[in-house]
Amino acid sequence: MRSEEVFEKLKQWVEDNRSHTMLGEPAQYIPALANQDRDQLGICIMDIDGDTYMAGECDVKFTLQSISKIISFVALCHFKGLDFVLDKVDVEPTGESFNSIIPFEIHRPGKPFNPLINAGAITVASMLPGDTVDEKYERFLLFVEGMIGHQLELDQEVYESEWKTAHRNRALAYYLKESNLLDLDVEEALDIYIRLCAICINLKDLAKIGLVIAHDGYDPIEERQIFSHDVARIAKVLMVTCGMYNSSGKFAAHVGIPAKSGVSGGILASVPPKWHSPEKAFRKGCGIAVFSPAIDVNGNSAAGTMLLRQISEEWDFSIF
């Protein structure tokens, strides 16, 4: 498909889906996110040559929030090995909200159901390589920056806003500490977790990360393996089964792409190569990043989800 056609379609589909922002609202429980402009909807798709296709509000910067969870999982597996990580967190969906305490309480043996819920992500963040919060944060940043090719920054306002209101996450961290699942003290574990959530990203960088995951940890632009195929495989399984929380089943059914959402309104999606229907776009796979801050009851961008659904249906992206 010609690039002009791809741009045209994306532009059209963004406008088709913009009204779905009415189906959600910006996350209210993190004060710094509550006042985001709810009508925004932007997308970036990156192909294997590094060419990007953008439409809508695509110059935005937003915080990673829960999207950081899949990246920290990948980073921890890369540094410490899959066995080490899967010993600490399981790979099962919960059927509860992302910040629920219930699954952790009832799951035996006592470890978080998966690394994409808060309990699992706090555990993973605390175990990143490094002895201190600063060291762990630096190692994580270097890992991500290695993938996108430049430095990232923390959104201090979002960090502080979340730090002050993280009562439930603090409670979760105490549970985790009691179960010997943290590599840090409670306040430190919370600190590293909230820092990762407050890292600022743009659509192009997020699409690049999606592209690398889609290609099994291989960066097709720089032509180098960043993390192993095995780690990428488990990451994609987690994205499909848990990445959109309690809508993961519906998302798999109607969109069918490994994806991870965040409450700031971002979605990271990885479209693996697909060799049939050669007349359709992005047959060699691509990374997709979407941003639209109005989120639904499950914590997923409302319009972002619908836009991905339309794109996937039109270009037959589903892996199923």
Binding site, annotated residues for substrate: 66, 118, 162, 169, 193, 245, 263
Beta bridge partner(s), residue 142: none
- The contact mask relative to ligand DON for 164-183 (x = CB under 6 A, - = no) is -----x--------------
Q: Is 262 in the site for ligand DON (CB under 6 A)?
A: yes
Distances, alpha carbon 89 to alpha carbons 59, 96, 125, 320, in Å: 35, 16, 12, 26
Q: 98, 113, 218, 251: which one contacts ligand DON (CB under 6 A)? A: 98
Length of the chain: 320
Active site residue 175: no
Q: Is 261 in the site for ligand DON (CB under 6 A)?
A: yes
Please give the structure tokens belonging to residue 104.
């952790």
Q: Is 66 in the site for ligand DON (CB under 6 A)?
A: yes
Q: Is 246 in the site for ligand DON (CB under 6 A)?
A: no
Helices and strands (DSSP H and E) totals, the chain: 14, 9
Q: Which of 159, 175, 218, 245 is catalytic?
A: 245
Beta bridge partner(s), residue 133: none
Q: Which of 6, 53, 60, 66 is catalytic?
A: 66
**Residues 275-304 interacting with ligand DON (rule: CB under 6 A):** 299
What is d(CA 284, CA 226) in angstroms, rounded to the nearest whole number? 18
**Residues within the annotated binding site?**
66, 118, 162, 169, 193, 245, 263
Beta strands in 37-110 (DSSP E): 42-46, 52-56, 61-63
Please give the structure tokens belonging to residue 165.
């209101």
Residue of minimal CB distance from ligand DON?
66
Active site residue 68: no
Q: Are 122 and 169 in contact (CB under 8 A)?
A: yes
Active site residue 29: no
Q: Is 112 in the site for ligand DON (CB under 6 A)?
A: no
Active site residues: 66, 69, 193, 245, 263
